[in-house]
Structure 1
Amino acid sequence: MATNRPNRNNRNNKLLGYLESRKNLTGSACGITGLALTFAGVAGAYWPFVVAGLYGAGALLAPPERPPLPDFPDPSAQLDAVRWDFGKLRSYLADVELPPAAAGRLTELTELLAALLDPGWVAEILARDPEGVHALSRAVRTDIPEAVDTFVRTRWWARLAPGTEAPERHLERQLALLHEEVSVLAASLRETEARRQESHTRYLEDRA
């Protein structure tokens, strides 16, 4: 009994779903048209076939049911999650000892990220740029942790093999590239606001 009840409920849900579907509603409307033709004396003795045929034609011509889109978080909610993860990243970086040059580049990068992620009008502009949110998410969650962690592990091996290329050079280069990428994003957001200002100027000029 317990196993049959879910199956019965599933069949009932499917039946109710079909009764409310566009196919059934459109087919029913066409079937009602067939009944009207029957009462008008047009269908004659073949009225059951006329009604069934019109119902079937209406069901076939009805647009298919469109399933609802997945409820993904909007860019603003995604930005909140990135901001939370950035806080965890800064806590992690505070416990890592880096050479002065790399530490300086990392500070420049994290300060730029903090300015972009700080709640306010800048974050509101960024939230309207899904690609920008994705770029920051990748930098915070993948690129920076990977660069720092790889440096820490490679530095240990470099001590066992002196004379090899210093791992901090790679770290400095990686941080410089990330800073350049985030700077390009910041410049793009600045240009967006500049275009918005220019558009408002043209609007006022045209209205005058």
Structure 2
Amino acid sequence: MATSEGVGRLVLRYLESTRNLVGCAGGAVGLGLHFAGLGGAWWPGVVAGLYGVGALLTPAPVRPSAPESPPEPSPEPASPPQAAEPEPASPPRVPEPVSPPRAPEPEPVVPRPELEALADYLGTVPLPASAGVDALLAALRGAGPGPVADRIVGYRLPVAVDGYLRARTWLPWAGPDAPDPAAQLGREVRRLAAELG
């Protein structure tokens, strides 16, 4: 009686196992092939073969092993309390000398080829010293690159010098009431210097 109950339990466990379920799926594929007309007269063997392949290739379930209990630590003999040793006296700290704050170093001047090319060209043009073009060029070198300085170098100052040269060329035909080109150039240079700040 006990043996038949044990066998029945094993059969039931196998019927519920993953191997049996995968084998049944393979057998169902074999039946599908038979109904599709591909198995021919050998269809029972195809169904049994697919069942067997599915059942045999399915890995067996891994049974969890019982966790090992950690070994109990052996009691260590209690050591007698030791007297605390006095810490050695540390020497008095000498304050470190305070260095004076260093002055910030001036930023290096970035070379600007367009400004130097403009200065070289203006050195060949007969400009009046009263216009202050040399002082504006020095201020542009000190200001460094920026939108205002770039606009003055790339457009505003060349246009002002061009206007001076044109007015000076046409001065003999302009009449006695024509404005002085040098004074006009000086006003424009002072305006540009004010914009540069």
Q: Same fold (TM over 0.5)?
A: no
Task: Report the TM-score when normalising by structure 1.
Answer: 0.34
Q: Which has the larger radius of gyration?
A: 2
